[in-house]
Structure 1
Amino acid sequence: MLSEVLIFVPSVANFRNTWLNDKLTIAGVAASVLVEVDMVAPEVQAELLRATGAVAIALDGGGRRRLIAMSEAPGEVRRLIDMGQMTPARAIAESFRTLLGGGGGLVRVVGPAQMGLGGRVDIVLPLDLLRDAMLAFSVRILALSLVISVITATLVYLSLRWLLVRPMQRLTRSMARFQEQPEDVARVIAPSGRADEMGDAERRLAEMQRTLAGTLQHQKRLADLGLAVSKINHDLRNLLAAAQLFSERLEQVADPTVQRLAPKIIATLDRAVAYTRSVLAYGSAREAPLKRRLVRLAMVVGDVREVLHLSTGDAVSFENRVPDGMEIDADPEQIFRILMNLCRNAAQAMTANGGPEVVRRITVEAARAGDVVEIRIKDTGPGIPPVLRGKLFQPFQSSAKSGGTGLGLAITAELVRAHGGSIRLVEGEGPGAQFEIRIPDREQGDARKP
């Protein structure tokens, strides 16, 4: 519409000039024919005035002014228009002055004569006649502008619908369809391959839907696994309770070996029962509070070695290098689980590969630095594959052995963090794998301190 306005302004001025020049041309041609006739018949005058719409026509040239035709004595002439001195800016200004001005009256138009007569043609016209012609032209321009606008609007609408609305509707339908069953990968939108912003939105939506579908599938597997673990945990607790009863009867056997091993068996079963109680608490919003005490770390490491049946002369040797007087401020059962998971993983990794000539050794060291106890568990196994190092402590992600669940290191990391400590894989220090655990002492103001 702005373009139409900019076109209309010079067009209406050009129409006004053309219309006035046409009237001057008709009058000039008639004057050239009748210039030699002293008297013009009234019929001819009337026809000439009708053709031009003027009320008076005169020819001014050679110092002589001749009246060609006149219908009646002209009234007051309100405006003089000299077409020989008309500029574009002046034509535009006078055009809008004519369109917007009110009232009637006469206008005198002066222009050069035709047919080589020389001089000027002078006609007097009603101003309303010029205004009516210009208004009719404006209406035609408006009608044409409306037609062009309708065509342009239709093309713009169709273009926007094809380029934007339809793709947006496709995105919306895909979102609604995906929302009905978000774990179904088949409901992920197929990008159209467009190279513009809409194509980029389709690709990003498809990527987001695939990621969300994979996450939901993973969560569903975890939920199914949690249900299975709950069922297994229920039956396992019953079996362990029966094993406890049988173990208590072993204490009545007089055999020295039985008397030495029976308490350890009962203690191991007690730990297993406690573990079954804590299985369902793993990963919940509230973990069971720690029962931190001062613990002789060397004795805990010794219990781990006995439970794993490892010694210096076995296929997998175990070296306890923790100083006898080393104390750690930790939950006894949880620090046992931490060390048990790491040592069991190391033993399983070493026994799965190589023959009898391969050195298989687990070493546990500890040192105190101020209020922090640093524990290192080293082995001579194959080490941690590089592909697993980035997700080593994530649930169900770090298992590299057949039959593993990938929960051991995740549980270990959670227990270490519960103590306010940290665990990391030490890289580049000898063969095998080496884990470093740092457990800080509790602050003096901790209400849980005994």
Structure 2
Amino acid sequence: MAMMMTKTERVPARASLGTKLLVLTIVFVMVSEIFIFVPSIANYRNNWLRDAHRNASVAAAIIAETPNVPEGLKLRLLTATNTIAISHREGNRRRLLAMAMPPTSVDRHIELGNETIFQSIVSAFDTLFAPNGRIIRVTAMPDGLDEEVDIILEETPLRQAMLAYSWNILALSLVISIVTAILVYMSLRWLFVRPVRRLADAMIDFATDPEDTSRTIIPSGRTDELGEAERSLAAMQHQLCDTMIERRRLAELGMAVSKINHDLRNLLASAQLFSDRLAMVQDPTVQRFVPKLVRALDRAVGYTSGVLAYGRAGEAPPSRRLVDLHHLAADVGEILGLDTHPNIDFRIIIEHEIEVDADPDQLYRVLMNLCRNAMEALESSDHDSVVRRLAIAAERSGSVVRIVVSDTGPGIPAKVKQSLFQPFKGNGRRGGTGLGLAISAELVRAHGGSLTLIDAPTGASFEIIIPDRPIDLSVRRAAIA
């Protein structure tokens, strides 16, 4: 138990599941905002350039339609539109309308409306990382006019506007990310983190004392996957608790059996001494029963020698011989007192020539267990009108012998049938351990056969199938040769 507690001690974590969830939510929201920011900054640049070109187009129209425009007015129009020069093309004729100062060189030429989305995104980031003072030329046709207006302007105001827009988007994205992360974190913590923490705490608490049923988790009644996990964990904990209790019970039983076995061997040794003295009595009745008593004592001594073998190393392999089944069944009935029982009708429906290839002692134990169980079931009712009949029938079909032990008792309860041949699961009788049927099933399986409960109109009927040993043809041919 101490080792189990050591393995299940909670290890301090650097970051809890909730903290990781909060950080990941913020990161994912920021990534989503980046995917939103990239096309939006490109769209902001295009809109800024269109607005600048539109304002310059209005100034170009004023200058072109007004004759003899003073140079001072042209400079004020250029300053108001943040342009260096404005030119106008109509057909094949181009005219410079206004110019604040001759540009040294034009670094980039932009044609509005001809850029793809990808080109707009690349151009937007090129503007963001461009040096100050770069000169650009913007060309476009005003809406509804078959003419072209070119403007030359400095890119620095556009870059500053884009940087301010980016910082605003970044601050807004950060606020949205934090708010969204908190809301998602609170929701997921209530929906998932708390139930998972509850499952983990329940497992850790149960591991400290698996035999304490009060430490099993109580399902919360959820209908989702976590609720199913809670119910599965509760069922597993109850099953494990029962297993641990049964394991402790088996350990205690093993200790008790070893003590009883030691004292029982001493008592049987004393009983053998008394049986030897009884053999000297010349009374015919005594002489009749003394050999049976001696055989019963010898079997009991043999059982005490191998009683601890069950559940640890298994029963010894059967020492098979041809057995007179009718004589063996009569011996069982006589030992149990069924042949002279005042209330039980004991019948042996076995032909005398039927022989079974089996270990006589092990088959005797099987029949003894089945008949004793049937005898106790028949004696459970004291009503005189109840039919109490116990029968042992057998038949041979080829190389297989079929034995049926049936009674007219109350039968096997339905809830006991599923665990009928499991040790310590009980056999439906008050005070029964179920070991007799478990041992009998193991002994029959060692013969290559089977022990099953078959349907019967009344009472309980057990079917024993024992096949003959397979013949080794090579050995037989060698013997004949």
- Please tell me the TM-score bracket, short chain as reference: 0.7 to 0.9
Question: Cα distance, 1:249 vs. partner?
Answer: 1.2
What 5-or-longer segments of structure 1 have no aligned partner? 114-118
Q: Is the 8 A contact 1:40 1:68 kept in 2?
A: no
Supply the RMSD in Å over aligned alpha carbons: 3.7
Alignment size in residue pairs: 440
Q: Which residue matches 1:380?
A: 408
- The one-letter code sitting in structure 2 at the alignment partner of 1:105 is I
What 5-or-longer segments of structure 2 have no aligned partner? 1-29, 477-481
SS of the aligned residue for 1:16 comes to helix
| CA distance, structure 2, for counterparts of residue 442 and residue 120 of structure 1 | 109
| CA distance, structure 2, for counterparts of residue 206 and residue 134 of structure 1 | 60
Question: Cα distance, 1:374 vs. partner?
Answer: 1.6
Q: Which residue of 255, 258, 261 corresponds with 1:227?
A: 255
Question: Cα distance, 1:431 vs. partner?
Answer: 3.2
**Alignment of 1:100 onto 2:143:** no
- The one-letter code sitting in structure 1 at the alignment partner of 2:444 is V
Equivalent positions of 1:15-414 (< 5 A) are 15-23=44-52, 38=68, 40=70, 42=72, 46-57=75-86, 70-75=99-104, 86=113, 93=119, 96-97=122-123, 99-100=125-126, 104-108=134-138, 123-311=151-339, 314-414=342-442
Question: Cα distance, 1:328 vs. partner?
Answer: 1.7
Question: Cα distance, 1:280 vs. partner?
Answer: 0.9
Q: Is the 8 A contact 2:315 2:443 kept in 1?
A: no
| CA distance, structure 1, for counterparts of residue 386 and residue 248 of structure 2 | 42
| CA distance, structure 2, for counterparts of residue 97 and residue 434 of structure 1 | 92
Aligned CA distance change for structure 1 residues 97 and 279 (closer, same or farther; 3 Å): same
- The one-letter code sitting in structure 2 at the alignment partner of 1:107 is R
Query: What is the TM-score normalised by the length of structure 1?
Result: 0.82
Q: Which residue matches 1:433?
A: 460
| CA distance, structure 2, for counterparts of residue 189 and residue 332 of structure 1 | 52
| CA distance, structure 2, for counterparts of residue 207 and residue 433 of structure 1 | 33
Q: Which residue matches 1:116?
A: none
| CA distance, structure 2, for counterparts of residue 328 and residue 94 of structure 1 | 97
| CA distance, structure 2, for counterparts of residue 92 and residue 422 of structure 1 | 79
| CA distance, structure 1, for counterparts of residue 224 and residue 310 of structure 2 | 47
Question: Cα distance, 1:362 vs. partner?
Answer: 1.9
Q: Is the 8 A contact 1:109 1:125 kept in 2?
A: no
Question: Cα distance, 1:186 vs. partner?
Answer: 1.9
| CA distance, structure 2, for counterparts of residue 359 and residue 408 of structure 1 | 25
Aligned CA distance change for structure 1 residues 124 and 214 (closer, same or farther; 3 Å): same
Aligned CA distance change for structure 1 residues 236 and 53 (closer, same or farther; 3 Å): same
Q: Is the 8 A contact 2:441 2:450 kept in 1?
A: yes
Identity %: 51
Which stretch shows the higher mean deviation, 12-21 or 360-369? 12-21
| CA distance, structure 2, for counterparts of residue 336 and residue 136 of structure 1 | 99
Q: Is the 8 A contact 1:360 1:381 kept in 2?
A: yes
Q: Is the 8 A contact 2:56 2:83 kept in 1?
A: no
SS of the aligned residue for 1:280 comes to helix
Q: Is the 8 A contact 2:135 2:152 kept in 1?
A: no
Q: Is the 8 A contact 2:321 2:358 kept in 1?
A: yes
User: Deviations for 1:74-129, whole angstroms, at most 9, x for unmatched residues?
Assistant: 4555666676xx47x6687457436427783341456759xxxxx98764313454
Q: Which residue of 437, 445, 448 corresponds with 2:472?
A: 445
SS of the aligned residue for 1:260 comes to helix
Q: Is the 8 A contact 1:296 1:324 kept in 2?
A: yes
| CA distance, structure 1, for counterparts of residue 116 and residue 430 of structure 2 | 96
| CA distance, structure 1, for counterparts of residue 341 and residue 170 of structure 2 | 106
Q: Is the 8 A contact 1:110 1:123 kept in 2?
A: no
Question: Cα distance, 1:375 vs. partner?
Answer: 1.6
Question: Cα distance, 1:321 vs. partner?
Answer: 2.7
Aligned CA distance change for structure 1 residues 127 and 378 (closer, same or farther; 3 Å): closer
Aligned CA distance change for structure 1 residues 249 and 25 (closer, same or farther; 3 Å): same
Q: Which residue matches 2:27?
A: none
Question: Cα distance, 1:221 vs. partner?
Answer: 1.6
Q: Which residue matches 2:17?
A: none
Question: Cα distance, 1:440 vs. partner?
Answer: 1.4
Which stretch shows the higher mean deviation, 395-404 or 367-376? 395-404
- The one-letter code sitting in structure 2 at the alignment partner of 1:404 is G
Query: What is the TM-score normalised by the length of structure 2?
Result: 0.78
Aligned CA distance change for structure 1 residues 16 and 229 (closer, same or farther; 3 Å): same
Question: Cα distance, 1:60 vs. partner?
Answer: 8.6
Q: Which residue matches 2:33?
A: 4
- The one-letter code sitting in structure 1 at the alignment partner of 2:81 is T
| CA distance, structure 2, for counterparts of residue 110 and residue 386 of structure 1 | 92
Aligned CA distance change for structure 1 residues 299 and 54 (closer, same or farther; 3 Å): same
- The one-letter code sitting in structure 2 at the alignment partner of 1:100 is D
Question: Cα distance, 1:58 vs. partner?
Answer: 6.6
| CA distance, structure 1, for counterparts of residue 39 and residue 46 of structure 2 | 11
| CA distance, structure 2, for counterparts of residue 167 and residue 400 of structure 1 | 41
Aligned CA distance change for structure 1 residues 139 and 444 (closer, same or farther; 3 Å): same
| CA distance, structure 1, for counterparts of residue 149 and residue 458 of structure 2 | 115
Aligned CA distance change for structure 1 residues 51 and 193 (closer, same or farther; 3 Å): farther
Aligned CA distance change for structure 1 residues 446 and 290 (closer, same or farther; 3 Å): farther
Aligned CA distance change for structure 1 residues 50 and 368 (closer, same or farther; 3 Å): same
User: Deviations for 1:327-348, whole angstroms, at most 9, x for unmatched residues?
Assistant: 2221111111111111122222
| CA distance, structure 2, for counterparts of residue 240 and residue 91 of structure 1 | 102
Aligned CA distance change for structure 1 residues 293 and 175 (closer, same or farther; 3 Å): same
SS of the aligned residue for 2:419 comes to coil
| CA distance, structure 1, for counterparts of residue 36 and residue 392 of structure 2 | 91
- The one-letter code sitting in structure 2 at the alignment partner of 1:264 is K
Which stretch shows the higher mean deviation, 9-18 or 435-444? 9-18
Q: Which residue matches 1:419?
A: 447
